[in-house]
Amino acid sequence: ADVARNVVASMGAQAEASGLELTTQVQPATVDADRARLEQVARNLLSNALKFTPPGGSVAVSVDSQDGTARLVVEDTGPGITKEELPHLFERFWRGKSAADSAGSGVGLAVVSELVRAHGGQVNATTRPGGGTRFTVTLPRS
């Protein structure tokens, strides 16, 4: 919860400048992890959500725990990701069609995946019909 709050606080001005609503709903969920690396995971996911959500949209960050795991969820109301692109999201240097005109190297989500795996966790992405993407990170609770 502290990691998510800190990252959201540090990126709140960026969300506001982009005309986005940024909300949080966090509950304590203790994990045995490298705090700086978890902040990097949260920052990468939130940065992508802010980058690909158009003005007037929203990004929500939540932390909770269930079934012995801690969950970080970053969900946006952006255009979403096509079903064909979803399997490639965490590949190094891969960039989807919607990223063609934006800055970036295509390593952010690959780094997220590696850091989460190094902490014994998993990350996945889902998209809703009509738009919006949800990234879910699960880590074992300590």
Reported as a single tens digit per residue, the pLDDT across 47-88 is: 999 999 999 999 999 999 988 999 999 999 999 888 888 888
- Three-state SS string over 16-68 comes to HHCCCEEEEEECCCCCCCCHHHHHHHHHHHHHHHHHHCCCCCEEEEEEEEECC
Angle between helices 35-52 and 108-118 (to 10 degrees): 150
Report whether pLDDT(106) > 90.
no
Task: State pTM to two decimals.
Answer: 0.90
Those residues whose C-beta lies under 8 Å from the C-beta of residue 67, and which sit 6 or more positions away, are none
Reported as a single tens digit per residue, the pLDDT across 7-32 is: 999 999 999 999 999 999 999 999 99
Distance of CA 28 to the CA centre of its chain: 18
Q: Give the integer Cα–Cα distance in Å for 66 and 39.
A: 21
pLDDT recorded at residue 99: 53
pLDDT recorded at residue 128: 85
Report whether pLDDT(105) > 60.
no
Report whether pLDDT(104) > 90.
no
CB 77 within 8 A of CB 131: yes
CB 45 within 8 A of CB 90: no
CB 52 within 8 A of CB 79: yes
